Amino acid sequence: MATLTPSSGRGTWRDLWALARYQLTHIDRAGWRRFWMALFGLSVAFFLALYSTALRETNHPAASAVMSLLSLLIAFLVALKIVPYLAKRTALERWMMKVEYEFTREGVVYFLMIMLLAGAALNTGNNLLFIILATLLAGILLSGILSAIVLSQLQLDFSLPEHVFAERPMISRLTVENFKWVFPSFSLTLSAREPQKGKRRNFTPTTRQILDAPVYVPYIPHRSSVTQHVELTFPCRGRYTQDGFRVSTKFPFGLLRKSHEVAARQEILVLPNVQPTEEFYEILPLIGGEIESFLKGRGHDLYAIRDYQESDSARHVDWKSTAKAQQLKVREFTREDERRLVLVFDGSLAATDEKTLGHFEKGVSFCACLAWHFHEIDAQMQFLAEGFETPMSPAGEIIYPVLEKLALVEPKLDSTASLADLESRIASAARGFHIVITSRARGSIPTNLWGSSYLVFMDSL
């Protein structure tokens, strides 16, 4: 193996200088800062301990007690705040599970008792007090070891239904599996993963947290799993995400709350509420009457009289009209067994104030209720929205794509171009009865849309 020396060439000095610059630029400044802080704190604690001994020998018991308590407090703060941070910078991080510790109210009382007992032991030199102090400290150590065992080798599975609707309670299944061969797990609390410090959650209508309340699991045997049924209710439509779970426990003594984060990315799309509202029951009969008078078929209500075609049945010939016109005429009736509907959702808004957005959400819910109603009566339906269009199909085949689009639809500011685009899309839609849900002003609707469509204005909902 060749060894590089300063005399081996000019490039060697450059390589050494480049290596030194790399080490200086990639130094772990935060880790070194914590290291020097820990060294300084332990030095101060050691000096205060020596000073306490000297005060006790010079018959100053009160000052000696204060110095010993300060020494113990500084050493405890270094052990609690700095040592775990430095340990994670070592090779221990590769195999140790990341556990966060938080004092409970009982733990604070327990720690104060240790401080008082430590001061009394240092002042009196009583061996019994030192034994009791060591036992109390061993309790904290034992609590940390047992809780780390309880939180280790766990796997979570969060199962949700395929289709979830807003404002309707649903049951989900949260399964926790314990892979440990010997030890069970006790007293686990499962909650949503907390956001990182410095980052804010985005609680927009399209991004929310799935699990909004903690779930308690008292006991999980080794090499087995436990399933908890959790009732969830999503207040609004939109996309809900779960970045992970936070598993915590206060086992065994309740002195510390130990937490461990489990990364488990999950996402669910909450569909709009399809439960009929009072406005839906008021408008539905009006829409039904318009549909029956518009569509033609083999019903009982006369729709029109037209010229005979080869595919027409002879029983529909209107002989009175035929004799009068000297040409075969047939009768057409309103269709009852097949309905062709074109449902149009216009998401344009004139303003984005709170009241207008409230009407927009009502319009989305009304459109979802209407689409679900046509699905229940097996109608032929086509759906049109901004950037989305379905073919004319049985409503049962397209109902969930339609609801998924409505779950994510967002309002946009009104414009003349959007109105022209709406007219062209309606004109190119399949033949059928048009139902347009819009927030535009009544005076801005063209005459041709009034004549060929039934319009539902969001501000009337």
* pLDDT at 445 (0 to 100): 73
Q: What percent of the chain has pLDDT over 90?
A: 6
Q: Output the CA torsion 221→222→224→227 (10° steps).
A: 40
Cα–Cα distance for residue pair 403/393, rounded to 1 Å: 15
Instruction: Please determine, for residue 63, whether its predicted confidence score (pLDDT) is greater than 70.
Output: yes
Mean pLDDT calculated for residue range 330-351: 72
For position 128, what pLDDT does the model report?
83
Specify the pLDDT at position 261: 80
Distance CA 287, CA 306 (A): 26
Phi and psi for 18 in degrees, rounded to 5? -65, -40
Contact 266, 275 (CB under 8 A): no
Q: Residue 309 above 90 pLDDT? A: no
Mean pLDDT of the region 89-107: 64
Q: How confident is the model at residue 313 (pLDDT cuts 50, 70, 90)?
A: low
Beta-strand runs (E) in 201-276 = 208-209, 215-220, 224-232, 238-249, 256-271
User: Is residue 312 pLDDT above 90, yes or no?
Assistant: no
Which helix (H) or strand (E) segment holds residue 382: the answer is strand 380-385
Q: Are 443 and 420 in contact (CB under 8 A)?
A: no
The lowest-confidence range among 115-129, 179-193, 355-369 is 115-129
pLDDT band at 155 (very low <50, low <70, confident <90, very high): confident
What's the pLDDT score for residue 337?
Answer: 44
Cis peptide preceding 252, ω within 30 of 0: yes
Which contiguous run of DSSP H or E holds residue 447? Answer: helix 447-452
Q: Which residues contact residue 59 at a Cβ distance below 8 angstroms, ignoring those fewer than 6 apart? A: none
Backbone angles phi, psi at 242, to 5 degrees: -135, 110
CA–CA gap between residue 364 and residue 358 (Å, rounded): 10
In a 10 Å sphere around its CB, with 0-12 CB exposed, 13-18 middle and 19+ buried, how is residue 132 labelled? middle
Integer Cα distance of 161 and 183 in angstroms:
33
Q: What is the pLDDT of residues 34-55, one digit of tens each?
A: 778 878 887 887 788 778 777 7
In the 8-state DSSP scheme, what is residue 351?
-
The reported pLDDT for the residue numbered 191 is 85
| pLDDT of amino acid 453 | 78
- Residue 401: predicted pLDDT: 92
- For residue 44, the tally of other CB atoms under 10 A from its CB is 15
pLDDT at residue 197, as a whole number = 44
Rounded Cα gap, residues 293 and 18, in angstroms = 85
More confident residue, 210 or 10: 210
Least confident of 46-60, 98-112, 414-428, 429-443: 414-428
Query: The tokens 């779960």 sit on which residue?
Result: 242
Is the per-residue pLDDT at 202 higher than 50?
no
Angle value at C-alpha 265, between 264 and 270, nearest 5 degrees = 125
Task: Give the pair of three-digit tokens for residue 229.
Answer: 């049924």
- Reported pTM: 0.65
CA 119/CA 48 separation, integer angstroms:
13
